[in-house]
Amino acid sequence: MKVNNKRLLYLETIICLLISVGITYALYQNKAKRWEEQSSATFRQALELELQKRDTVMVFHKEAMGYSTLSLDDSLPKPIRIIDELGEREYIIPKEKYDHSLVKETLKRSILSILLEDYPLVPDTLNEIWDSLLITANIPVKTCIRISVTDFQERASVAHSKDIFESFSSDSLLSYYLGERCEVEVTGFVFYGWYEVVSGWGYFAICLPWIVLAFLFFFYKKIIFILERRFVKHETLTIKTMVPVIAVKAEDSHVYQLEEGVFFDTKEKVLKSASLTKKLAPQVAYLLKLFLESEGYRLSTSKIDENLWADGSGTQERIYTVIRRLRKSLDGITHLMVDYENDIYQLKSSISDEIVKNSTIPT
Residue 337 lies in a domain: yes
Which comes out higher in pLDDT, residue 52 or 239?
52
**Could you tell me the residue range of the domain that residue 71 belongs to?**
56-192
What are the φ and ψ backbone dihedral angles of 350, each rounded to 5 degrees? Answer: -90, 5
**84 has a pLDDT exceeding 70:** no
Residue 335 lies in a domain: yes
> 293: domain CATH number?
1.10.10.10
Residue 145 lies in a domain: yes
Q: 243 burial class (0-12, 13-18, 19+ CB within 10 angstroms)?
A: buried
Residues 176 and 262 in one domain: no
The number of distinct structural domains making up the chain is 2
pLDDT of residue 280: 92
The predicted-structure confidence for 135-176, as pLDDT tens digits, reads as follows 898 888 888 899 999 887 788 899 988 765 554 444 457 889
Which comes out higher in pLDDT, residue 70 or 229?
229
Residue 138 lies in a domain: yes
**291 has a pLDDT exceeding 80:** yes
pLDDT of residue 149: 92
pLDDT band at 56 (very low <50, low <70, confident <90, very high): low
Query: Of the segments 63-67, 235-239, 330-334, which one has the largest average pLDDT value?
Result: 330-334
Q: How far apart are CA 260 and CA 258, in angstroms?
A: 7
Query: Of the segments 211-225, 228-242, 338-352, which one has the largest average pLDDT value?
Result: 338-352
pLDDT of residue 197: 58
**Is-contact 286 299, C-beta < 8 A?**
no
pLDDT of residue 148: 92
pLDDT of residue 299: 92
Residues contacting residue 273 through CB under 8 Å, at least 6 positions apart: 261, 262, 263, 333, 334
Q: How far apart are CA 333 and CA 219, in angstroms?
A: 31
pLDDT of residue 74: 47
From residue 312, how far is each of 21, 40, 221, 320 by CA, in Å? Answer: 45, 69, 20, 16
Residues 185 and 260 in one domain: no
Residue 204 lies in a domain: no
Residues 264 and 183 in one domain: no
Average pLDDT of the residues in 292-300: 89
From residue 288, how far is each of 121, 275, 324 by CA, in Å? Answer: 91, 21, 12
